A and B are shown apart, each in its own frame.
Chain A
Amino acid sequence: IAGITQAPTSQILAAGRRMTLRCTQDMRHNAMYWYRQDLGLGLRLIHYSNTAGTTGKGEVPDGYSVSRANTDDFPLTLASAVPSQTSVYFCASSETLAGRDEQFFGPGTRLTVL
């Protein structure tokens, strides 16, 4: 593994179903993030984690939950999917050294909720 991996690559899901998007990084970065990307809206932050064991809400957290049990993994869960959650989801990570905090992105998961 090199960088950030996401799974699945794409998924079609019935409304009301539970779904977990997986994200793993091997860079030992402290911080991890989940974004959704919708046409014309750019990248919007869903949840983030500054370090293992802590999480925080981003701009659009409703309907999503996250956990950060260890440094490498940051799964995103949709407890009961709705069609408005159809989007492309990107996981990102950053080292969070003081003053230098570039984020690196995974390849994305394309989710369709019917």
Chain B
Amino acid sequence: GQQLNQSPQSMFIQEGEDVSMNCTSSSIFNTWLWYKQDPGEGPVLLIALYKAGELTSNGRLTAQFGITRKDSFLNISASIPSDVGIYFCAGRLVPGEKLTFGTGTRLTIIP
């Protein structure tokens, strides 16, 4: 089946730093989604990408759909305490097909 490798698994940063994380797939995807999960809650959709090369922003967050269609990147600029959580990527080969999720990147902000 499809596999999604998400890296890094965890990040420890200071407030104000920029953050980058990525996902790579063994297969071509037509959709990439990025979610954030706060402790004790369900994942919340941050950004959806539907076209190779697409670059989309949501406030301080920017995500890109890789040109090869096998990867996606999420950047967070000027991190703040509420950015703490687990970030998941998810991909889909064709519309209507089930999503495949990455294993998550846990972001911690060091005081």
Complex Cα gap A59–B2 (Å): 11
Contact in complex: B1, A43 (CB < 8 Å): no
Contact in complex: A108, B101 (CB < 8 Å): no
Q: For the side of the interface on A, what is the size category? A: 20 to 34
**Which chain B residues numbered 65 to 111 have a C-beta less than 8 Å away from chain A?**
88, 90, 92, 95-96, 98-99, 101-104
Q: For residue A41, which residues in chain B have a CB less than 8 angstroms away from its CB?
A: 103
Q: For residue B103, which residues in chain A have a CB less than 8 angstroms away from its CB?
A: 40-42
Does A98 interact with chain B (Cβ within 8 Å)? yes
CB distance from A103 to the nearest CB of B (A): 6
Contact partner, A99, options B33, B40, B95, Cβ 8 Å: B95
Contact partner, A107, options B35, B41, B50, Cβ 8 Å: B41
CB distance from B54 to the nearest CB of A (A): 13
Complex Cα gap A107–B37 (Å): 10
CB distance from A54 to the nearest CB of B (A): 13
Q: For residue B48, which residues in chain A have a CB less than 8 angstroms away from its CB?
A: 100, 102
Does A48 interact with chain B (Cβ within 8 Å)? yes
Complex Cα gap A106–B44 (Å): 9
Does B42 interact with chain A (Cβ within 8 Å)? yes
Q: When A42-B88, A42-B104, A90-B42 are in contact, do A103 and B99 touch as well, CB less than 8 Å? A: yes
Q: When A59-B1, A100-B50 are in contact, do A43 and B43 touch as well, CB less than 8 Å? A: yes
Contact in complex: B42, A102 (CB < 8 Å): no
CB distance from A92 to the nearest CB of B (A): 8
Contact in complex: B45, A102 (CB < 8 Å): yes
CB distance from B26 to the nearest CB of A (A): 15
CB-based nearest A residue for B43: A105
Show 11 A/B contacts (Cβ-Cβ < 8 Å), sorted by A: A40-B103, A45-B99, A59-B1, A90-B42, A92-B42, A96-B96, A100-B48, A103-B99, A105-B42, A107-B41, A108-B41
- Which residue numbers of A lie inside 8 Å of B, CB to CB? 4, 33, 35, 40-45, 48, 50, 58-59, 90, 92, 96, 98-108
